Amino acid sequence: MTMTMMRVLVLALTLLLTPAWLPEVDGFMNMGQQCRPFKCPSPTLKPVPKKEFVFTANGCGTTGIPIKASVDFTECCNWHDACYSVCGMKKAKCEKRLTKCMKDQCAALPDESARRECDSMAQLFSIGAQMMACPAYQQAQEEACRCVPASKVDKANRDRLAHFLEANNAPAEDVTSSALDALLAKYTGDETKMFMRLLVKYPKAIKRDASKKNFMDDILRGAEGENDLDRTKFEEDDQIEVDEHIEL
C-alpha cells in the first residue's frame, strides 16, 4: 500500500472513531452528503446541460497523479467522474453507482483473499467519496450546466441531445427530428436519466483528462488536513436506484 493510500486509510479510520461521528456510523453506508446539484442564481432561470460539453475522467487519480492501489478501480472511477458531470444528477446516485461498480468488480475475483482485499479498498473509496467529495461534485456540475429562462429549457435539452448524438456517431435514424422529439417526450421531466443512459450507450463519449479534478483530490486534501469535512445533515438515499439501462 502506498503512502497516499495509507493516508486515506488513516483518515477513514479517524473519521469512524471520532466521537462526533459515532451516531452516524451505523447507517453510514446508506447515507449521502446533502450536496446539491447545480442551481441557477435566479428562480426565473433553470439549469440545462451545456450544448457542447465533453465528458472527461481521471480514473482514481488526483490531478495529474494516478493513485496506485492493489485493486484497479479505474473503470469505476471514470464512470463516477462522468456521473458527476451529468447536469442535474444527484450526488448520492453517483455514489451508489460507484459502490455497485466496485462491489461487482470485487465479486468477480476468483480468489477469496483477493476479494476481501478488494472489498476493503472499495469500502474506503466509497466512504471517502460519500463524505468528502462535495467540492469535486459541485465543480463538475458547474462545468456541465448553464442557466436559461424556463421558456428555453426544452430547446436547450433538444440542442444538447442532437449535439451529443451527432458527436458520438449515432445512427442517422436516431438523429432525425422525429426521433429526437420522441426521445425527449419519453423523458419529459427526467432528462437527467436520459442523458445518463445515453452516456452508458456511448461510453466513448468519456475522454481521458489527467488534469481533471475528481473525488480523490478532495479525499487527499482531507488526509493532509487541508479540507474541512462538510458536516452538514445527511440525506436519505435508500430510494435511489442504480440505473444501468442502455435501452432508451
Closest CA to 68 of 15, 11, 121: 121
**CA atoms within 13 A of residue 207's CA, in its CB half-sphere:** 8
What residues pair up with 50 in beta bridges, in sequence order? none
Q: Is the pLDDT at 21 greater than 50, yes or no?
A: no
CB 51 within 8 A of CB 155: no
Share of the chain above pLDDT 90, in %: 59
Model confidence over 169-223: pLDDT tens digits? 999 999 999 999 999 999 999 999 999 999 999 999 999 987 766 655 555 554 4
Task: Say what angle helices 91-107 and 112-132 make with each other, to 10 degrees.
Answer: 170
The model's confidence at residue 228, banded by pLDDT at 50, 70 and 90, is very low
Question: Which contiguous run of DSSP H or E holds residue 56?
Answer: strand 56-57
Task: Round the average pLDDT of the chain to a whole number and report it.
Answer: 80
Model confidence over 77-119: pLDDT tens digits? 999 999 999 999 999 999 999 999 999 999 999 999 999 999 9
pLDDT for 71 equals 78
Q: Is the pLDDT at 235 greater than 50, yes or no?
A: no
Domain segments of the chain as ranges: 3-20+27-45+53-149+208-236
- How many degrees, rounded to 5, is the angle at CA 56 between CA 50 and CA 62? 130
Q: Is the pLDDT at 237 greater than 80, yes or no?
A: no
Give me the phi and psi of 224, to 5 degrees please.
Answer: -90, 0
Neighbour count for residue 161 (Cβ, 10 Å): 25
Q: How many residues does the chain have?
A: 248
pLDDT for 218 equals 55
Task: Say what angle helices 91-107 and 134-144 make with each other, to 10 degrees.
Answer: 110
pLDDT for 17 equals 41
pLDDT for 170 equals 98
pLDDT for 212 equals 64
Q: Is the pLDDT at 68 greater than 60, yes or no?
A: no
| Strands 45-49 and 145-149, sheet pairing | antiparallel
